[in-house]
């Protein structure tokens, strides 16, 4: 690599572009609804459109990187994302905005898994934790900073600027990727599996649609879609078992470390992706904190994530990946559950300290687990491993959000109270502790994963 030290930063900044956009729109929904003369419920479908686009694009990401090279696929993802962002900014109707958001989600979904794949192919094993810790920080910061930036743009400019700022940032990132990174690709990439790509994408798309419907209390449609998605998933697995060059390379699950590290990552994602939503809801609806103060407090999670960088690779060197994952999981869960017992009289310093600790431990486990997944994976299999990991992560991202939403609906109705929010926080934290089972079964691993 010509400039390997810059690789994590270049890739990470491009991922920040996607994560900021995915989360900043939430605070702009009222402004969009007023501008397009639609109700809030209808406009909130733009978030669902983004998730559905991501679900459709995730399955072939590893194969595309193997076939055309990671840099080319990454650049294409940025370019399509920028064009779709411009279409979002120029939209004058809700259907147009939803279509542009679908394309935006599909393009953005390529960036994180392909970027991670490029990190794993660029750096040797002993350098991966340091490199990945740098790369993943923007992905962790985006969900925290997005609502804050979106709120400022909506209040002082216009909701369309949430999308317009993607143009200079995206084009600059694309130029940096082209000039500074090499285009790694497999010398003998796997043959295309069109049936596997179509069935797997349909399975994930249908499953995500069903989970979104369930989160909106559409039990009949949501349940049918989830069942259909699972059946299509079984069909994709059956196809993969019979086809030598299948998109889903199932023999990778025979690798103990890959299987258990991935299960650890997926269990943790049930908490990680639902946490910003639950904490924002708790602070504003449960504790009566103002939106601006909530934004400042949530940023403490981002600051905690930043503080992780100098510690992660040192602790992995000293204590091994398994111990660091266990520490991160327990620390993140305990600090998160403690938030459920906050009250309107709780000190802002206490709240900030808990969120800072949560961000620190969340980043610690996320960085280490992501690298452990690829430990021992042959170079020619990193694309296939990326596909399997990305499919699981996309599914569990939506599953976590759906789970906490359904829990609050069942206990608190359409307007959850403090008790139902706190119960969802505790339940999601306890469920996340199941990852300790997989961490324990990983067994001792070399200090450097």
For residue range 221-265, list pLDDT tens digits in order.
999 999 999 999 999 999 999 887 888 889 999 988 899 999 998
Is the pLDDT confidence value at 276 over 50?
yes
Is the pLDDT confidence value at 436 over 70?
yes
pLDDT at 161: 92
pLDDT at 335: 95
For residues 354 and 24, the model is more confident at 354
For residue range 346-357, list pLDDT tens digits in order.
898 999 999 999
For residue range 312-359, list pLDDT tens digits in order.
878 888 888 889 999 999 999 999 999 999 988 889 899 999 999 999
Q: Which token pair is 139?
A: 């992905």
For residue range 181-222, list pLDDT tens digits in order.
877 776 676 778 889 899 999 999 999 999 888 877 788 999
pLDDT at 80: 95
Total-model pTM: 0.81
Label residue 127 exposed, middle or buried (CB < 10 Å: 0-12, 13-18, 19+): middle
pLDDT at 447: 42
Mean pLDDT of the chain: 85
Is the pLDDT confidence value at 58 over 50?
yes
């Amino acid at each position: 690599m010509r400039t390997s030290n810059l690789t994590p930063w270049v890739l990470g900044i491009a991922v920040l572009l996607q994560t900021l956009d995915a989360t900043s729109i939430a605070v702009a929904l009222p402004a969009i609804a007023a501008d397009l003369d639609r109700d809030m419920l209808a406009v909130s479908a733009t978030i669902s459109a983004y998730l559905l686009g991501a679900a459709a694009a995730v399955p072939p990401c590893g194969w595309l990187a193997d076939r055309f090279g990671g840099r080319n696929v990454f650049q294409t993802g940025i370019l399509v994302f920028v064009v779709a962002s411009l279409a979002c900014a120029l939209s004058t109707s809700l259907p147009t905005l939803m279509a542009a958001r679908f394309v935006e989600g599909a393009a953005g979904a390529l960036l994180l898994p392909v970027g991670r794949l490029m990190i794993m192919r660029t750096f040797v094993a002993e350098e991966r934790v340091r490199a990945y810790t740098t790369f993943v920080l923007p992905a962790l910061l985006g969900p925290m900073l997005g609502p804050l930036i979106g709120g400022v743009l909506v209040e002082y400019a216009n909701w369309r600027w949430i999308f317009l700022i993607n143009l200079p940032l995206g084009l600059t990132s694309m130029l940096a990727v082209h000039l500074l990174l090499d285009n790694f690709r497999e010398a003998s990439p796997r043959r295309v599996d069109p049936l596997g790509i179509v069935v797997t994408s349909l399975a994930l798309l249908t499953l995500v649609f069903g989970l979104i419907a369930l989160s909106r209390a559409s039990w009949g449609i949501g349940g049918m879609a989830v069942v259909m998605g699972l059946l299509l998933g079984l069909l994709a697995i059956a196809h993969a078992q019979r086809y030598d060059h299948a998109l889903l390379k199932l023999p990778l699950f025979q690798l103990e470390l890959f299987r258990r590290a991935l299960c650890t990552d997926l269990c943790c994602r049930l908490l990680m992706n639902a946490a910003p939503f639950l904490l924002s809801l708790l602070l504003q609806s449960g504790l009566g904190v103002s939106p601006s103060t909530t934004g400042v407090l949530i940023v403490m999670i981002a600051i905690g994530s930043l503080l992780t960088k100098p510690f992660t690779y040192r602790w992995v060197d000293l204590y091994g990946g398994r111990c660091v994952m266990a520490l991160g999981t327990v620390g993140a869960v305990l600090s998160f559950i403690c938030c459920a017992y906050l009250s309107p009289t709780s000190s802002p310093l206490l709240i900030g300290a808990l969120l800072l600790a949560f961000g620190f431990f969340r980043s610690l486990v996320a960085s280490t687990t992501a690298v452990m997944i690829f430990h021992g994976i042959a170079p020619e299999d990193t694309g296939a491993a990326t596909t399997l990991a990305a499919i699981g992560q996309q599914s569990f991202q939506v599953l976590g959000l759906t789970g906490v939403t359904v829990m609050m609906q069942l206990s608190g109705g359409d307007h959850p109270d403090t008790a139902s929010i706190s119960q969802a926080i505790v339940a999601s934290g306890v469920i996340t502790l199941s990852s300790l089972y997989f961490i324990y079964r990983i067994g001792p691993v070399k200090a450097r994963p």
